[in-house]
Copies of this chain bind each other. A is one copy, B any other.
Amino acid sequence: MGHMSTDPKPSPLPLTERQEARRRRILDASTRLACGGGFDAVQMREVAESSGVALGTLYRYFPSKIHLLAATMQDQLGQLHEALRKRPPAATAPSERVAETLLRAFRALQREPLLADAMVRAVIFADRSVSAEVDAVSRLTTTIIVDAMGPGAETGNRESAVRVIEHTWHAALVTWLSGRATVGQVTEDIRTVCGLLDR
- In the assembled complex, the Cα of A56 lies from the Cα of B195 at a distance in Å of 50
Q: What is the minimal beta-carbon distance from A103 to any residue of chain B, in angstroms?
A: 14
- Which residues on the B side are within 8 Å of A19 (C-beta)? none
Q: How many copies does the complex hold?
A: 2
Q: What is the minimal beta-carbon distance from A122 to any residue of chain B, in angstroms?
A: 9
Q: When the two chains form the complex, which single residue of B124, B130, B179 contacts A125, counting CB atoms closer than 8 Å?
A: B124
- Which residues on the B side are within 8 Å of A181 (C-beta)? 163
Check A121 for interface membership: any CB of B closer than 8 A: yes
**Chain A binding surface, main DSSP class:** helix
Q: Are B171 and A134 in contact (CB under 8 A)?
A: no
Q: Are A121 and B128 in contact (CB under 8 A)?
A: no
- Which residues on the B side are within 8 Å of A7 (C-beta)? none
- In the assembled complex, the Cα of A126 lies from the Cα of B40 at a distance in Å of 12
Q: Are B121 and A178 in contact (CB under 8 A)?
A: no
- Which residues on the B side are within 8 Å of A121 (C-beta)? 125, 127
- Which residues on the B side are within 8 Å of A168 (C-beta)? 164, 167-168, 171, 193
Given contacts A160-B188, A189-B163, A179 and B131 within 8 Å (CB-CB): yes
Check A43 for interface membership: any CB of B closer than 8 A: no
Given contacts A171-B171, A196-B195, A128 and B189 within 8 Å (CB-CB): no
Check A53 for interface membership: any CB of B closer than 8 A: no
- Which residues on the B side are within 8 Å of A42 (C-beta)? none
Q: Are A126 and B178 in contact (CB under 8 A)?
A: yes
- CB-contacts of A157-182 with B (<8 A): 160-161, 163-164, 166-168, 170-172, 174-175, 178-181
A contact residues vs B (CB 8 Å cutoff): 39, 121, 124-128, 130-131, 134-135, 138, 160-161, 163-164, 166-168, 170-172, 174-175, 178-181, 185, 188-189, 191-193, 195-196
